[in-house]
């Protein structure tokens, strides 16, 4: 199983984009910030950190103010006993942006961060200029079996053992051969996933991970869906980026979200798994940069927002009942 390709040039460019720290609500928040211009907020996924964006951050910062936080409970941010629901993460992002004097952003979210980005756009539409979802959670029930297992009661007892270096080495050697029989294939993302799970050796990180995971996943799969509110992206320029080889959250979720989000764009990276911004950073920058250049930032109008809320999904039902039926089926199957 191959590791995620690394770009030496990008790594060299990004050595200077180090972590900064601010205290918000008494908790230390770590983040990376670079550049100037219209603001772009990069939100990582579960058990990850802001370092996931390092292959694209410097290039993006040539034309934008780029903010990439470590979510609470992740990376170098504090890991308190706290609320790790998606809505709480969205509030935390709003407050960090307030501390940094940033009013409006193009929000880019990967995996869990995609669900957080969608929630941010839903809770704070006046702050969201554009929405970009990368291999995003929160569409359908399907998710990798390892995450379903980790959400089970008692999983915390096995995690220190599973996260240990010897076990990670064993998994890296054995899992590729067994993947087609076990359904545990990580595709091209195995090496990076194992690196991320190494952080779970820390008890506080492990607790934060489990609180976060169990807020969105149970043994049957994802329990949170954004499909019932996708119509609210009407008027917000929206881009979906997915890897065709994604084994964590299948590319079929991209197609369903694209159908449910009026006017959205979809870019599928044929050579990528769950981390297209890492495996194909140059193409990711081209797609994201083109999207930002070619779309005007959303302008929040509370009267329009209220009208969209009142109308609900009825306009989509009237114009495309097939799409409405697909969304309904996925929403019900996700437990909402």
- Which residues are catalytically annotated? 111, 246, 274
Dig out the tokens for 240 from the structure: 């979906």
Q: Is 309 exposed, middle or buried (0-12, 13-18, 19+ CB in 10 A)?
A: exposed
What is the Cα–Cα distance from 305 to 314, expressed in whole angstroms?
15
Burial status of residue 300 (CB atoms within 10 A of its CB: 0-12, 13-18, 19 or more): middle
Determine if residue 104 is left, alpha or beta; phi over 0 gives left, psi from -120 to 50 gives alpha, anything else beta. Answer: beta
In Å, how far are 26, 35, 43, 50, 324 from 29, measured between CA atoms? 9, 20, 13, 11, 40
Estimate to the nearest angstrom the gap between the alpha carbon of 257 and the chain centroid. Answer: 14
Q: CA 281 to CA 15: how far, in whole Å?
A: 16
> Do the strands 238-243 and 128-134 form a parallel or antiparallel pair, or are they unpaired?
parallel
């Amino acid at each position: 199983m191959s590791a995620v390709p690394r770009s030496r040039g990008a790594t060299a460019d990004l050595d200077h984009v180090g972590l900064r720290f601010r205290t918000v609500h008494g908790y230390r928040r770590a983040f990376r910030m670079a550049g100037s211009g219209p603001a772009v907020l990069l939100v990582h996924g579960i058990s990850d950190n802001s370092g996931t964006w390092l292959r694209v951050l410097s290039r993006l910062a040539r034309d934008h103010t780029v903010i990439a936080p470590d979510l609470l409970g992740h990376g170098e941010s504090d890991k308190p006993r706290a609320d790790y629901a998606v809505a709480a993460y969205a509030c935390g992002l709003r407050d960090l942006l307030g501390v940094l004097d940033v009013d409006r952003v193009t929000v880019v979210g990967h995996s869990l961060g995609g669900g957080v980005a969608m929630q941010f756009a839903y809770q704070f539409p006046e702050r969201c200029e554009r929405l970009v979802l990368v291999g995003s959670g929160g569409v359908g029930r399907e998710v990798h079996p390892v995450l379903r297992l980790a959400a089970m009661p008692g999983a915390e007892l096995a995690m220190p053992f599973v996260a240990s270096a010897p076990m990670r080495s064993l998994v890296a050697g054995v899992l590729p051969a067994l993947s087609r029989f076990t359904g545990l294939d990580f595709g091209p993302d195995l090496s990076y996933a194992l690196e991320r799970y190494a952080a779970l050796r820390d008890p506080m990180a492990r607790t934060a991970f489990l609180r976060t995971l169990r807020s969105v996943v149970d043994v049957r799969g994802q329990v949170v869906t954004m499909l019932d509110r996708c119509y609210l992206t009407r008027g917000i320029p929206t881009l979906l980026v997915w890897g065709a080889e994604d084994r964590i959250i299948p590319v079929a979720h991209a197609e369903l979200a694209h159908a449910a989000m009026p006017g959205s764009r979809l870019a599928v990276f044929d050579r990528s798994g769950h981390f297209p911004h890492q495996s194909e950073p140059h193409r990711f920058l081209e797609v994201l940069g083109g999207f930002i250049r070619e779309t005007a930032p959303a302008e929040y109008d509370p009267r329009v927002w209220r009208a969209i809320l009142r109308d609900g999904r009825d306009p989509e039902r009237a114009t495309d009942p097939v799409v409405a039926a697909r969304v309904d089926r996925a929403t019900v199957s996700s437990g909402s």
